[in-house]
Structure 1
Amino acid sequence: MPSPIEFFFDFGSGYSYFAAVEIEALAARHGREARWRAFSLGTAFKRTNALPLTRAPLKSDYTRIDWTRIAREKGLSFQIPEGHPHAGLPALRAFHAIDRRDPALAKRFALEVFRLYFAGDLATDDLSEVAEVAAGLGYPKADLAAAVGDPELKAHVREVGEQAVARGVFGAPWVFVDDEPFWGWDRLPMVERRLAGA
């Protein structure tokens, strides 16, 4: 079996959202599994001295236009939430807690978090709201609250981000195909060609 493609994403990244909507079908077209890796872009920003796109001078205005334009073309309801980007640690940790038990459910959870967050209907830094999303998909609130508070899970989440940066990840979305890196939603056509020629 060919190795999975690795999909690194951050819940506060609009480009990650657009990639998340496409990545499963893309991988399936080439007989690959997509392995989703949620991480915090803040880990990379500390190394690169970067700012979130929507807080960076000049980049901010363009990013808002571009995200809205892409969402419209993809038929996605979209708005940049007030106070964006949220730190989103509860959503990040919840993803990893769910992923440990059921990776397929974790992907569905991630897509729902993206959809709700970029509709202005979810505070990703509010555990009670995040738990409601998980509960709606069948993951018990009590189980999630216990898992998210587990120091071992918190350490695991930090480690995922640190390992990503150690592999050269400095933005999101980020895809590895057989360890070859691709940065950005707009690189998915290149990922497709790479998979077709693998």
Structure 2
Amino acid sequence: MKHIDFYLDFISPYAYLAFEHLPQALEGLSYSVDYRPVLLGAVIRHHGQLGPAEIPVKRSWTYRHVMWLGHAHGIPIDMPATHPYNPLPHLRLALAASGAAHTSRLLTETLFREVWRGGAEAADPARLAALQARLAPALAPDDAAVKARLKANTEEALARGVFGVPAFVVDEQLFWGFDSLPALRAYLQGDPWFAGPQWRDADQRPSALAPAAPRA
């Protein structure tokens, strides 16, 4: 049985869609999953990138695209009243409620659906307080240990080559994005193509572009 580390941030509609679609995409296969919250903003900054929502025309396309993907795959999705928003409370709450570096499927589902269903304000203080009362009434999401857990998850993801979410790591092979789920399935099924040069050596050639320096 293969193990998958699923790196996610609740701010990402693609991570939400991938989470919802994962059981169908991998139906019939034997695997285990750890859901690992990370701070997408830190990942993006590390690689010197802009987020999709920071580029106006890309923001418009992204929101329309995720609405289409939800429609095409039968996944309920509503844009939050404000997006992007600050996902730190949801990320820290998830890790506080789990008491570990990863979260259960049920806990992850609860938080994703809180953001991506209903069209409400994801960062509304009253909604966040009610969510904490449901999930972790006796725990402090701002506790130093919880913050350290989120930082460690994010650093681990970066060390494994993660540059965005959703990201799936299995056997130290990285699959990125909602549209990588068919490739992930093929890999888990043992498709020999992944042992060949088209996968292994695709990036082993010089580039005419100067690499961007990672941001501090």
Q: TM-score range by the shorter chain?
A: 0.7 to 0.9
Aligned to 1:77: 76
Q: Cα offset for 1:39?
A: 0.7
Q: Cα offset for 1:28?
A: 6.3
- Structure 1 residues 9 and 101: alpha-carbon distance in aligned structure 2, compared to 1, 3 A threshold: closer
Paired amino acid for 1:74: H
Q: 2:178 aligns with which of 178, 185, 190?
A: 185
Does structure 2 conserve the Cα–Cα contact (< 8 Å) formed by 1:23 and 1:34?
Answer: no
Q: Cα offset for 1:43?
A: 1.1
Paired amino acid for 2:105: K
Aligned to 2:106: 108
Aligned to 1:132: 130
- Structure 1 residues 130 and 107: alpha-carbon distance in aligned structure 2, compared to 1, 3 A threshold: farther
Aligned to 1:159: 152
Aligned to 1:175: 168
Q: What CA distance in whole angstroms lies between the structure 1 residues aligned with 2:61 and 2:26? A: 30
RMSD: 2.4
- Structure 1 residues 57 and 103: alpha-carbon distance in aligned structure 2, compared to 1, 3 A threshold: closer
**Equivalent residues in 2 for 1:140-159, closer than 5 Å:** 140-141=136-137, 143-144=138-139, 146=140, 148-159=141-152
Q: Cα offset for 1:111?
A: 1.4
Paired amino acid for 2:179: D
Aligned to 1:197: 190
Does structure 2 conserve the Cα–Cα contact (< 8 Å) formed by 1:113 and 1:122?
Answer: no
Q: Cα offset for 1:20?
A: 0.6
Paired amino acid for 1:157: L
Does structure 1 conserve the Cα–Cα contact (< 8 Å) formed by 2:94 and 2:111?
Answer: no
Superposed CA deviations along residues 90-127 of structure 1, whole A, max 9, x for unmatched, are 110111122226967x422221222231232352474x
Paired amino acid for 1:132: A
Does structure 1 conserve the Cα–Cα contact (< 8 Å) formed by 2:13 and 2:66?
Answer: yes
Does structure 1 conserve the Cα–Cα contact (< 8 Å) formed by 2:101 and 2:149?
Answer: no
Aligned to 2:195: none
Runs of 4+ in 1 over 6 A off after TM superposition: 101-104
Q: Cα offset for 1:30?
A: 2.0
Taking structure 1 as the reference length, what is the TM-score of the superposition? Answer: 0.84
Q: How many residue pairs are counted as aligned between the two chains?
A: 190
Q: Cα offset for 1:3?
A: 4.2
Q: What CA distance in whole angstroms lies between the structure 2 residues aligned with 1:134 and 1:172? A: 24
- Structure 1 residues 164 and 156: alpha-carbon distance in aligned structure 2, compared to 1, 3 A threshold: same
Gaps of 5+ in 2: 192-216
Gaps of 5+ in 1: none
Does structure 2 conserve the Cα–Cα contact (< 8 Å) formed by 1:86 and 1:125?
Answer: no
Which is greater in Rg? 2
Tell me the SS of whatever aligns to 1:33.
Answer: strand
Aligned to 2:33: 34
- Comparing 154-163 with 22-31, greater Cα deviation is found at 22-31
Tell me the SS of whatever aligns to 2:130.
Answer: helix
Aligned to 1:97: 96
- Comparing 75-84 with 60-69, greater Cα deviation is found at 75-84
Aligned to 2:57: 58
Taking structure 2 as the reference length, what is the TM-score of the superposition? Answer: 0.78
Q: What CA distance in whole angstroms lies between the structure 1 residues aligned with 2:133 and 2:50? A: 33
* Structure that is richer in helix per residue: 1
